[in-house]
Amino acid sequence: MGTTARRSIWAWGLESEEPSKADRKAEAKRMAEEYGTVVDPPPLPTIDRVDIRAPRIQAPDALATICSHDKHDRAAHAYGRSYPDKLRAFQGDFRNAPDLVAYPSSEAEVTAVLEWCSDNGYAAIPYGGGSSVVDGVNPPEGYDGIVTIDLTRLDQVLEIDESSRAARIQAGVLGPALEAQLKPHGYTLRHFPQSFEFSSLGGWIVTRSGGHYATNHTHIDDFVESVRMVTPRGVWESRRLPGSGAGPSPDRLVIGSEGILGIVTEAWMRIQKRPRFRASAGVRFPDWAAGYEGTRQVVQAKLWPANLRLLDPAEAQKGSGLDGKQSLLIIGFESAEVPQGAFIQEAVAIARAAGGQIDDDAIVVDDGTGKPTGRGGNVGAWRDWFIRAPYAKNTQVGLGLIADTFETAITWDRFPEFDAAVRTAMTDILQRVCGGGEIACRFTHVYPDGPAPYYTYAGFGTPGAELEQWNMIKAAGSDAVMNAGGTITHHHAVGRMHRPWYDAQRPDLFAGALREAKRSLDPNGVLNPGVLIDP
């Protein structure tokens, strides 16, 4: 009943893209060489061997045609795609799968499903592309019925306003389908999170998603012109405006609400002309500190590059073959209207003055002729790699490797101490849990007042005990981030996973205000219970 190409019940992507036995054997062999441990890949789960309890509820007649009790549909909607999600799904643990999955294809159907849930006290879980890595779509315990509302049939670009460069778009559309509908008109939303293939516009809005563009307008927050949201109390719709000073922004309460206030059905989004002019440069710095100091100076000049990604020595070595001491700053400019050569020269001049090195002929400028920019491929190629990356991890599930990422943001003044504290905490916990491991960092987004560091780590755990081990590492990393003054999430969202740290981060009085606001919209407390605040 879902899409024609079936999603894997455990891996990132479609069933047809699941790794083969041979892929996994090869990966196990590679891992054995790297970590000195022999692992027999456990068998891949199949839907036939999965146990799911019988559905506890039945859709009323009026909704029967849009609701599915199908075992595969239910299993495929039981988890997001975090490390523990994939592991639990791989292990065949579907004990709390939704009782049914609803596939509304109109706002009226969303309303009807939500009313049914609210009237009966069933947990209603809004579901876009299912790419949450924070338990944002995982059904909570303690409900007599769980209805996951899959919004992917709301997948149309309804209207394009070329004059204002804005489009009215249904919230369930996934990234590729959204871009495919804008492209013939010469436009792009230009929002490319790593989850792009399997995340939706509505999901981006309610999780304050960050695209892969690095400075100025990066969060989806800045591209929302107005939103329309269905709640158990009716429709919430803001006026379409380029800017306003009329009270606190209603949109900013919806943005980041993670499905607890309502279900976004459509939004007017600011779109852009597809870029024609590009420029890029990779600047090497002698070490990590020189790299982040140089990055600070470039971003504070407010040239607003599309990309400004700093790789630490570990990442720069792995990704670009540097010497393991140098850091690498990737600078990219893009525009539909204006040649970017002058901009990149200014940015490179600042980076060089801060100790960065790059040969003149390594600064690549595409003045509209389509010349590829950047060494080893243009921005598009990088984007493709970036979006394909989650597939690589599918082969590793259940082999004992504990590898994950976490992301945050911190002001520049505190970053050096923050970074040291996080690395120390992670090195310690990886030592304790895995007997050692690796940690690396890059800046995914950069603001004039601070970077958004993105940490990746890996250690070899005990096959079968990875979940518990991952939990210990996650807790240690999150504690370090919070104690050193960062945010528990810059763009992965809060969900249920980040609750303990989020609860410490947000003002208590804000939590109280949000709880009351939710109560006024969702009096029976059915919308995504446990996310952001307690039910």
Comparing C-alpha atoms, which of 208, 200, 247 is closest to residue 224? 208
Comparing C-alpha atoms, which of 298, 300, 416 is closest to residue 358? 298
Of 57 and 182, the one with the shorter C-beta distance to a copy of itself is 182
Of 145 and 232, the one with the shorter C-beta distance to a copy of itself is 232
Q: How far is the CB of 451 from a copy of itself (least distance, A)?
A: 7
Q: How far is the CB of 522 from a copy of itself (least distance, A)?
A: 10
Of 409 and 426, the one with the shorter C-beta distance to a copy of itself is 409
Of 258 and 266, the one with the shorter C-beta distance to a copy of itself is 258
Q: How far is the CB of 527 from a copy of itself (least distance, A)?
A: 13
95: number of CA atoms within 13 Å, CB side? 6
Q: How far is the CB of 476 from a copy of itself (least distance, A)?
A: 19
End-to-end CA distance of the chain: 31
Of 234 and 377, the one with the shorter C-beta distance to a copy of itself is 234
Of 240 and 383, the one with the shorter C-beta distance to a copy of itself is 240
Q: How many CB atoms lie within 10 A of CB 317?
A: 18
Q: How many CB atoms lie within 10 A of CB 289?
A: 14
Of 145 and 450, the one with the shorter C-beta distance to a copy of itself is 450
Q: How far is the CB of 190 from a copy of itself (least distance, A)?
A: 11
Q: How far is the CB of 314 from a copy of itself (least distance, A)?
A: 23
Of 370 and 512, the one with the shorter C-beta distance to a copy of itself is 512
Q: How are beta strands 123-127 and 401-407 bridged, if at all? A: unpaired
Q: How far is the CB of 535 from a copy of itself (least distance, A)?
A: 16
Contact 324, 262 (CB under 8 A): no
Q: How far is the CB of 220 from a copy of itself (least distance, A)?
A: 9
Cβ burial of 288 (10 Å; 0-12, 13-18, 19+) is buried
Instruction: Give the integer Cα–Cα distance in Å for 397 and 394.
Output: 6
Instruction: Give the integer Cα–Cα distance in Å for 191 and 183.
Output: 13
Q: How far is the CB of 373 from a copy of itself (least distance, A)?
A: 18
Of 98 and 259, the one with the shorter C-beta distance to a copy of itself is 259
Contact 503, 511 (CB under 8 A): yes
Q: How far is the CB of 350 from a copy of itself (least distance, A)?
A: 7
Comparing C-alpha atoms, which of 503, 411, 486 is closest to residue 449? 411
Of 8 and 408, the one with the shorter C-beta distance to a copy of itself is 408
Three-class secondary structure of residue 210 per DSSP: strand
Residues near 99 by beta carbon (within 8 Å), at least 6 away in sequence: 55, 56, 57, 69, 74, 122, 145, 146, 147
Instruction: Give the integer Cα–Cα distance in Å for 491 and 199.
Output: 13
Comparing C-alpha atoms, which of 145, 173, 154 is closest to residue 74? 145
Contact 522, 232 (CB under 8 A): yes
Token pair in block for residue 252: 């900013």
* H or E stretch covering 441: strand 438-447
